[in-house]
Amino acid sequence: MTFPGGTRLGPYEILTALGSGAMGDVYCARDTRLGRLVAIKILRTQSGLDLSRQALAEARAAGRLNHPNIATLYDVVEGMTTDGKDLGPVLVMEFVDGRPLTSLVAEGPMDVERVLGIGIQLADALAEAHRSGVIHRDVKPGNVMVTHGGTVKLLDLGVARVAADSSTTTRTAPEVLTGPGHAGTPAYMSPEQLTTQTADVQNDVYAAGVLLFELLTARRPFDAPDVLSLAIRATTAPTPLVSQFRPDVPAPIDDVVARAMAKDPKERFASAAELRAALVAVRGRAPGTRPAWLVWAGVAAAIAIGAVTWTMTRGEPHARAPIAILPAISQGDEVVEALGAGFVSTLADNLSSAPGLTIVLGSRLKPEFLLPSRDLAKAARDLGAGYAIDLQLSGTADRVRVNGTIVEAGRERPVWQGRHEGDAIEVNRWVADQIAGALEGIGILSRRPTPGERGRMRRVPTSVPGAFVAYAKGETRLETADSAPDRARAASTAIDAFNEAIRRDPSFALALAALSEACGRMYVYTRDAAWASCAHEKARLALEADPDSARVHLSVGLVHQRMGRIEDALREARQAVTLSPTSDDAHRLLGNVLSDRGDADGAVAELQRAIELRPDYWLNHSTLGFVQQRAGRYKLAVTAYRRAAELQPSAANYHRLGTALHLSGNVQEAIGNYKHAVELAQDPGAYSNLGFSYYSAGRYEEALAAWLESARLSQTPSPTTLRNLGDVYERLNQRDKSRESYTAARDGARRLLKVNPSDVNQIALIALCEAKLGNHAEAALRAAEALGLRPDDNTVLYKVAVVEALDGDKVHAIAHLKEALARGYPAAFARDDFDLQGLRNDPQFVSLVAARDD
């Protein structure tokens, strides 16, 4: 049955036919209720056959998935009719505007880097589906689309099961095999699936391996005229290697594809997440052998372009260590001083597109990096880099002079030098173009850049000089802020500068992204919802202005994370990693977001990858400590924080180390680190945790003093600090002040929820405050809400247990406390918590805290 344009199927109006396959016919339609385009697939089935409940449940489970690389299945409709005719099962899906991989395969073997990008996104989609218990069963080129922007979309997730359960026809052609217990396309089925018809996550991994093989070679590993012959070949013949047909494909990629297609499931990647990690690792190391070519064949000689001189020497390239971009040295007026930060920011964003290159930014807060006579080779070594880029500026705003140098760690003679002068835009264009070319000529890139990558390596973010100067001023202000109060003032000043840049050039994507990030910082400092709105709006505009900038996706992802929009943050972080796989910043953000989602192992893997890329950067180790601490792995958190404090002995790192020590039971050492932190900087967070240490030690007057100082230093005291004040006032028998503090904490948390309604920490805190104020019904509702959002979080479980204990519900309190302790919550905290006094005589409580007291 075919449907012409204009046909109505319930609320869907058919626009045009998209194609026909073995499973059914596909149409582009318009949802008349929402005004959006959808794809409708009408499955071929015998009239009157119902879908099984299990198949419908799986399809609808797939429909609940929210992932940038999965085409959403909106609905599965049974018995949808038009003109009284039974259509059988009808699937309503996201309409994807792009090309299927089948059409790309037909064009011949693909570029290795492009295949890796597709493979990483595909594996990411499968890993997300598998985490939700959904198996695809029919991964093949026809079920994978690539949008015009390069995003991979996996189609028909959960559909193969529907097709299998709704058909009684067994097809013997090698293209499709369906029927009771069957689903999929034999050419992409694993040997065990072909012989036993069972499907699990490893079958999807095998199919992804076959697809990668086909993209790289433009042929399938096994082909046969019928299913039986195909099954015999797939189970008995040796699995071919990609390198048999593509000798230029590097051995690591050959190995990954071969392992994905291993005949024995025990030798195959155990999950799509493992496959993705292997592809990311290969891409980050060097996803392509470097051919014996030299792009800049003539640049070894001096050339003159206007006022430019250029010289370069080339020996054997350094090992694939990162390249450091040092803070620019400026000797001139205020504008010239600011331009250095703008040049460095642009250069870092551009070089994130360079294949296989890891960028390290030297800090302007380190005095040794700001001397005109700085030792560049030593700076490279100190930053764990193989090379360092040095820019030194002089002149005036109208005529800027720049001297550029690239040195290799351990060698005195520069590998490249050049100079130029002109206005801000001319100099920025020269810096971008010449350094990109120099890096290609040195030979440290993993492969020859594609035309698109080469263009992105040389971008100038704006052609308006005044806009660039304003942007550079904002970047300079943010970069040089150190203490907490200064950071707030710096963000406010930077916002003015970024607004000026955007007024001059409304399409200036980097300025929009920087403004979004600065607004996000102001929200963190002030908790004013207006700043959150500003951050979201500027993030949207930045993405519209430049969807291909890793820096833009990184900044936008950070804003989403700060505002609690975790799925949005996850999408942007993954895109930043895809666009710049060797960016430790991107992997660090992705690790943070995965931790927010409760995926501790995935978060640790991303942070370890960030540390591999940039081992001597304190923030990577500090973030790993935070992720381990959040997962209840306190000793591992202490180890990571100690390393961060060694690399950067700052107040923030001593503060974090103190927190991990406190959680691991070492209260005295924790107090020492907190004291050291507040001596270095008047940080409200450090005072707050110092107060908690005193409180845990029964030193209530000292705890009160520390918490009052934390509240004084904060522009707006946090709800947590106010709740802590309520607790200490309670211990000091100042009941009126206690109730005032609990009420203020509850109201403050409610205000934060208006910005981020899914902030589970604020929801749990409201539950606690309501319980302490005697509002037990409201406390129970909030506790249930928090538990529904994060059922595996040990802190949430613990707070729920406290709410139940305060309400006299000992049975549930003990049950949730047991689970919180099993997930790593410190038993010592539970044992000494005054809010759990009602449980202390319960033998189960005594047993729980005693069992973990050692």
> Active-site positions?
138
Question: In terms of C-beta density within 10 A (0-12 exposed, 13-18 middle, 19 or more buried), how is residue 217 classed?
Answer: buried
DSSP states of 33-87 as a string?
TTTEEEEEEEE---TTPPPPHHHHHHHHHHHT---TTB--EEEEESS-EETTEE-
User: Torsion angle, CA of 193/195/198/203, rounded to 10 degrees?
Assistant: -10
Contacts of 118 (CB under 8 A, 6+ apart): 101, 110, 144, 146, 152, 215
417 token code pair: 């030098």
CA angle in degrees (0–180, nearest 5) for 562-564-567: 115
Question: In terms of C-beta density within 10 A (0-12 exposed, 13-18 middle, 19 or more buried), how is residue 385 classed?
Answer: buried
DSSP states of 773-809 as a string?
TT-HHHHHHHHHHHHHH-TT-HHHHHHHHHHHHHTT-
Phi, psi dihedrals of residue 247, rounded to the nearest 5°: -60, -20
Count of helices and strands (H, E) across the chain = 35, 19
Nearest to 179 by CA among 45, 30, 17: 45
Nearest to 450 by CA among 440, 435, 461: 440
Between CA 345 and CA 237 the distance in angstroms is: 54
Between CA 793 and CA 387 the distance in angstroms is: 43
Between CA 363 and CA 482 the distance in angstroms is: 11
Between CA 695 and CA 706 the distance in angstroms is: 10
Nearest to 169 by CA among 45, 252, 354: 45
User: Torsion angle, CA of 296/297/303/307, rounded to 10 degrees?
Assistant: -10
CA 780, distance to chain mean position in Å, is 33
142 token code pair: 């026809």
H-state helical runs in 383-464: 424-442, 451-456
Report the SS3 class of residue 9: strand
Report the SS3 class of residue 405: strand
What is the amino acid identity at position 640?
A
741 token code pair: 């503090």
